[in-house]
Structure 1
Amino acid sequence: MSRQINWEEARDALRKIREEQIRDGARVVRLWKQVLANCAHKLGDEVWTVQEQVTVAALDCQNFDMANECITSLNRKFPNSMRVRRLFGMYFEALGRYEKATEQYEKILEEDSTNMFARKRQIAILKEKNDVLGAIESLNKYLEMFMTDFDAWMELCDLYLLFQDYNKAAFCMEELIMSNPHNHLYHQKFAEIKYTQGGSENLETARSYFAQACKLNPNNMRAQFGLLLTASNLATGHSKNQKEKNSNSKYAVWAAEQIIDKYQTTQTEEQLKDTKVLDLIKKMQENLVPQSET
């Protein structure tokens, strides 16, 4: 049997979860329910921080009764607090009562028009209601105020991709790359968008950004596959002359070699037998031998 932890250990565990920003709602709910709820007075003023933490965790776990108890307690202590309004908004969102949630967020914005949380929750509600166009419009307005919110740029990119608006999606990724040029995932996603658009110019751009993603993170297998596919396409039909085809063949062969090496070093013999990926890549390699330039 596992030992029952005491209230101090439970308190310290919740502190660590907060400090390290770990999202483990089930554990937070369990520690509160089994240990701290019956000795909350021992926490002193920290009890209010803990109850806020428990509220969010309870909503994650759809434990609405526990969430309601904590919010009610917080509201008695801090009536009309913006942070309590935020929790009420999240509570109504979780219940699907979007009008009530929006009302709470609007009250917050009346007091603080630059409140990032309230604006982002309003966008989340639009997405929940499947109003994607409304969410796109709101995100664009939001980014006029908070241009350095990388998550918002990525979210806007994904929404544009839902409508196959690749030019605007690519623009979002370009903004992210300019803000953080060392993030290999940004280069990879931008390359994938350009690859999807197709055409020789877009494929050349995609190849360049897949290559940069591989350079920034040599373990990015998705970027290596992207480089292999893009360079192969260019080598077998989209390049303008034999010199460019040979150059792209070398890119593709290099990517193939990286993929094969990683498969052979990370997969067991049985796994290698079960997969046909290596066979396909080796066949591609055979067709990528550079030819003499004329």
Structure 2
Amino acid sequence: MYYLSSRRQIEAKMATLDLDWEEVRDTLRTWREDNTRHSEEVVDMWYYCLRHYKHKLGDERWMVEEQVVIAGLDCNRLDVAEPCLVSLNEQFPGSLRIRKLKGMRLEALERFDEAMDVYDGIIRQDETNSSVRKRKVAVLKGQGRYADAIKELTEYLKKFMSDTEGWQELCDLYLKEGDYSKAAFCMEELILSNPHYHLFYTKYAEIKYTQGGLENYELARSYFCQAAKLNPGNLRALYGLYLSCSQVASSPKCTTQKKKETLRLEAWALKEITEKYSKCRDVDGSKIVETFRSLSVTDKA
């Protein structure tokens, strides 16, 4: 089935007055099922087409209007979001889901304290409502109150320990605060939850590399190595492996045998990087590799 997929296609359809409401409905349904936002496209599809046919949607109308409310708030199109929110509130006056949308509207209006009151009220009624707890974190983060956001998210993760998105967000918040040891702990939790995902290893290694010191450089080298093993195409991991090997080999605490092994690994990483850039027709890989080689602090004399 053909789906509208870009703003350009929407504009072309509207220009030729060939925007079929059933096609739009199917596209919005697909985006809901795929859990993707496409906020600008959703707003345009609703405003220029589907709102005129909402009476034909049946019960799906309410899911579409919820989708439009969120998209409208994303794009600061309150003129689109608010009529849908009014319609939803009339249909489901006591719904916690609608109250959450009201809280998001207050966020869009920068009435953050009122939004937090709405979210607190929802949580008092339903302590297991994870999405509303996440909204509270988003409000605090949006205000630049990172310490409060960390506290709120930490409490959330005590109740929802398997939420990988929560751990990733907490890691990023700790990085904003410069607390690398706690950020590393968050990545350790993520690696335990999914030991085959190469990007978790890469990020953990980058944090350890940033912390510095021989022990952390050696840990970074090991985790960059594992990331490259899980995904040989992970250039970021290969870059990290090369740099961490350089730091380990240049340390005065590094033994002769360890330095020899590390230099061999460093050379292998550079070879892999060179080979991958040599396959890129649109990129002058030789200049990139030469620049990258100059970053090494290893004595090659």
Indicate whether the TM-score tops 0.5. yes
Once residues 284 and 122 of structure 1 are traced to their aligned partners in structure 2, the CA distance between those partners, rounded to angstroms, is 42
**Quick one: which of 259, 275, 281 aligns to 1:245?**
259
1:182 equivalent in alignment to 2:193: no
Give 2:209's aligned residue.
195
Once residues 39 and 102 of structure 1 are traced to their aligned partners in structure 2, the CA distance between those partners, rounded to angstroms, is 35
Q: Residue type of the partner of 1:150?
A: T
1:10 equivalent in alignment to 2:24: yes
Once residues 283 and 26 of structure 1 are traced to their aligned partners in structure 2, the CA distance between those partners, rounded to angstroms, is 44
**Quick one: which of 275, 284, 293 aligns to 1:272?**
284
1:235 equivalent in alignment to 2:235: no
Structure 1 range deviating more: 158-167 or 147-156: 158-167
Give 1:77's aligned residue.
91
Give 1:65's aligned residue.
79
The alignment-based identity, stated in percent, is 46
Once residues 22 and 8 of structure 1 are traced to their aligned partners in structure 2, the CA distance between those partners, rounded to angstroms, is 19
| Shift in alpha-carbon separation, 1:58–1:283, aligned structure 2, 3 A | closer
Give 2:144's aligned residue.
130
Does the aligned pair in 2 maintain the 1:191–1:206 contact within 8 Å? Answer: yes
Structure 1 range deviating more: 162-171 or 225-234: 162-171
Give the Å deviation of 1:9.
Answer: 1.6
**Quick one: which of 191, 194, 214 aligns to 2:228?**
214
Give the Å deviation of 1:139.
Answer: 1.0
Does the aligned pair in 1 maintain the 2:146–2:177 contact within 8 Å? Answer: no
Q: Residue type of the partner of 1:276?
A: K
Does the aligned pair in 1 maintain the 2:39–2:75 contact within 8 Å? Answer: yes
Once residues 141 and 198 of structure 1 are traced to their aligned partners in structure 2, the CA distance between those partners, rounded to angstroms, is 30
Once residues 114 and 295 of structure 2 are traced to their aligned partners in structure 1, the CA distance between those partners, rounded to angstroms, is 57
Give the Å deviation of 1:77.
Answer: 0.8
**Quick one: which of 21, 31, 36 aligns to 2:50?**
36
Give the Å deviation of 1:163.
Answer: 2.2
TM-score by length of 2: 0.90
**Quick one: which of 116, 130, 135 aligns to 2:130?**
116
TM-score by length of 1: 0.92
Once residues 297 and 136 of structure 2 are traced to their aligned partners in structure 1, the CA distance between those partners, rounded to angstroms, is 54
Once residues 129 and 220 of structure 1 are traced to their aligned partners in structure 2, the CA distance between those partners, rounded to angstroms, is 35
Q: Residue type of the partner of 1:142?
A: Y
Give the Å deviation of 1:287.
Answer: 6.2
Which structure 2 segments of 5+ residues have no match?
Answer: 1-11
Displacement over 3 Å in runs of 4+: 280-289
Once residues 240 and 28 of structure 1 are traced to their aligned partners in structure 2, the CA distance between those partners, rounded to angstroms, is 58
| Shift in alpha-carbon separation, 1:191–1:177, aligned structure 2, 3 A | same
Does the aligned pair in 1 maintain the 2:123–2:129 contact within 8 Å? Answer: yes
Q: How many residues align?
A: 287
1:142 equivalent in alignment to 2:153: no
Give 2:59's aligned residue.
45
1:56 equivalent in alignment to 2:70: yes
Give the Å deviation of 1:240.
Answer: 2.6
Does the aligned pair in 1 maintain the 2:248–2:262 contact within 8 Å? Answer: yes
Give 1:255's aligned residue.
269
Give the Å deviation of 1:237.
Answer: 2.5
**Quick one: which of 143, 157, 165 aligns to 1:151?**
165
Give the Å deviation of 1:22.
Answer: 2.2
| Shift in alpha-carbon separation, 1:244–1:89, aligned structure 2, 3 A | same
1:162 equivalent in alignment to 2:142: no
Deviations 1:217-244 (A, max 9, x none): 1111111000000001112235531110
Does the aligned pair in 1 maintain the 2:21–2:49 contact within 8 Å? Answer: yes
Q: Residue type of the partner of 1:94?
A: A
Once residues 286 and 36 of structure 1 are traced to their aligned partners in structure 2, the CA distance between those partners, rounded to angstroms, is 61
1:204 equivalent in alignment to 2:230: no
Structure 1 range deviating more: 67-76 or 17-26: 17-26
| Shift in alpha-carbon separation, 1:108–1:238, aligned structure 2, 3 A | farther
Aligned-residue CA RMSD in angstroms?
Answer: 2.0
